[in-house]
């Protein structure tokens, strides 16, 4: 039997909540680091991915989907519009609303964002077989669902990003 010689606290290394928190912190920091050269904050990534799936959503629909207060969403869309990543168009059904659409600049950026996400997932799961990855994904999705978490929405998405151009 091989004894693990890494420094650390063995008792905490046996606790699932601690390991999830440790990995979550690592992944969160790594994702920010990966997006920084693209001048993108994780919140920006979330909005762009949401729009890539269903372009032309209203700000209200995006707010509800991402769990952001409407006022936060307005400021966020203002910032993304200033960066040339989205534009507001008249909503085809609701005259009081705007449809938020991706610009060509955002569409050109999406493959790089997707590449970073896949590279990070490959790195994080490198020690797993494809079957183990599928099992881990299923288990994590079930745990998240049992806790009432919204699929694909980070609970800290509503927190303010640093005050810089990467919103």
List per-residue pLDDT tens for the chain, 167 residues long.
Answer: 555 666 777 778 788 999 999 999 999 999 999 999 999 999 899 999 999 999 999 999 999 988 888 888 899 999 999 999 999 998 888 888 889 999 999 999 999 999 999 999 999 999 999 999 999 999 999 999 999 988 888 877 766 554 444 44
Alpha helical stretches, state H, the chain = 10-13, 16-35, 42-53, 59-66, 70-82, 104-124, 130-146
**Boundaries of every domain in the chain:** 30-146
CATH no., domain 30-146:
1.10.10.10
Whole-angstrom distance, CA of residue 11 vs CA of residue 9 = 6
């Amino acid at each position: 039997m091989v004894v693990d010689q890494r420094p650390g606290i063995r008792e905490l290394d046996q606790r699932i909540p601690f390991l999830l928190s440790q990995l979550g912190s690592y992944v969160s920091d790594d994702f920010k680091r990966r997006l920084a050269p693209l001048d993108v904050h994780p919140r920006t990534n979330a909005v762009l991915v949401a729009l890539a799936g269903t372009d032309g959503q209203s700000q209200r629909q995006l707010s509800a989907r991402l769990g952001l207060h409407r006022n936060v969403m307005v400021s966020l869309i203002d910032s993304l519009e200033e960066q040339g990543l989205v534009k507001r168009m008249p909503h085809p059904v609701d005259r009081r609303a705007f449809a938020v659409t991706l610009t060509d600049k955002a569409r050109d950026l999406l493959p790089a964002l997707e590449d970073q996400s896949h590279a990070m997932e490959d790195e994080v799961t490198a020690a797993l077989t494809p079957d183990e990855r599928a099992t881990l994904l299923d288990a994590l999705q079930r745990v998240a669902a049992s806790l009432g978490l919204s699929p694909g929405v980070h609970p800290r998405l509503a927190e303010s990003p640093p005050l810089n151009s990467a919103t």
